[in-house]
A and B are shown apart, each in its own frame.
Chain A
Amino acid sequence: GAGVSQTPSNKVTEKGKYVELRCDPISGHTALYWYRQSLGQGPEFLIYFQGTGAADDSGLPNDRFFAVRPEGSVSTLKIQRTERGDSAVYLCASSFGPNTGELFFGEGSRLTVL
């Protein structure tokens, strides 16, 4: 597709469950980013991939959160033992290369933990 695609668009789960969120970046974009946006807040950085490797995962809040990008394209954000405080919109973005700040965002995956 032409833009960044994220699935699912909405996910409702119960506390303690495992969740996977998928991001398909723009073709040819080597850099991929995950952000989290809580209600009334701006996006908060989670992790950045350059190719297949996580170049910076300093924003992951704890070890329940993990992300992979095994072939340098699609990425999956994985959340174990979900908590109510994990409820947010998870945004994925991609860019041609590093250090421009011009990120192309997807529409996000809205996660609700009951």
Chain B
Amino acid sequence: AQTVTQSQPEMSVQEAETVTLSCTYDTSENNYYLFWYKQPPSRQMILVIRQEAYKQQNATENRFSVNFQKAAKSFSLKISDSQLGDTAMYFCAFMKLGGSQGNLIFGKGTKLSVKP
């Protein structure tokens, strides 16, 4: 069975600074996707970034980038130039390819607070 671990329950960062959220996972699968989802207070969860395990290049989306270390089973999220709107719960998630589509396995989340 796959597991996703987020070891930082809460983090804070000053506006305009950079912060890195950690995620590790455990799987025996070789083909999978990894995701970071953001859940702002009282709002719906949205996809931030996705990484295909077969790609060596780290995914980037504007101010968001990942450090994907497949051998170490590590998938951290870096947020550059943090903004107040980045305040949210961040969930790391794993999805096996070829299995049940949509059966994402989520970590417990990291609560990020961006301070002015």
Q: Using CB atoms and an 8 Å cutoff, list the residues of chain A in contact with chain B.
A: 3-4, 31, 33, 40-45, 48, 50, 55-56, 58-59, 91, 93, 95, 98-99, 101-108
Contact A50 B101 (CB under 8 A): yes
From B4, B45, B50, B100, contact of A105 by CB (8 A): B45
In this complex, what residue of A is CB-closest to B46?
A105
Known: A101-B35, A107-B43. A56 touches B100 (CB 8 A): yes
Contact A93 B102 (CB under 8 A): yes
B25 CB–A CB distance under 8 Å? no
Q: Using CB atoms and an 8 Å cutoff, list the residues of chain B in contact with chain A.
A: 4, 33, 35, 42-47, 50, 91, 93, 95, 97, 100-109
CA distance in complex: A108, B45 (Å): 10
Provide the main secondary structure of the chain A interface: loop
What are 15 A-B contacts defined by CB distance under 8 Å?
Answer: A3-B44, A4-B44, A31-B101, A31-B102, A42-B91, A44-B106, A55-B100, A95-B102, A98-B102, A101-B47, A101-B50, A101-B95, A102-B47, A102-B50, A106-B44
| Given A42-B109, A55-B100, A105-B45; 5 other pairs, CB 8 A cutoff | A43-B106, A95-B102, A101-B47, A101-B95, A101-B102
Question: Using Cβ atoms and an 8 Å threshold, which residues of chain B touch A91?
Answer: 45
CA distance in complex: A95, B50 (Å): 15
Question: Using Cβ atoms and an 8 Å threshold, which residues of chain B touch A41?
Answer: 108-109
In this complex, what residue of B is CB-closest to A99?
B101
Question: Using Cβ atoms and an 8 Å threshold, which residues of chain B touch A102?
Answer: 47, 50
Question: Using Cβ atoms and an 8 Å threshold, which residues of chain B touch A104?
Answer: 46
CA distance in complex: A47, B105 (Å): 13
Contact B102 A43 (CB under 8 A): no
Give the residue among A41, A44, A99, A108 with the most B Cβ atoms within 10 A.
A99
CA distance in complex: A65, B106 (Å): 21
CA distance in complex: A39, B41 (Å): 14
Contact B101 A42 (CB under 8 A): no
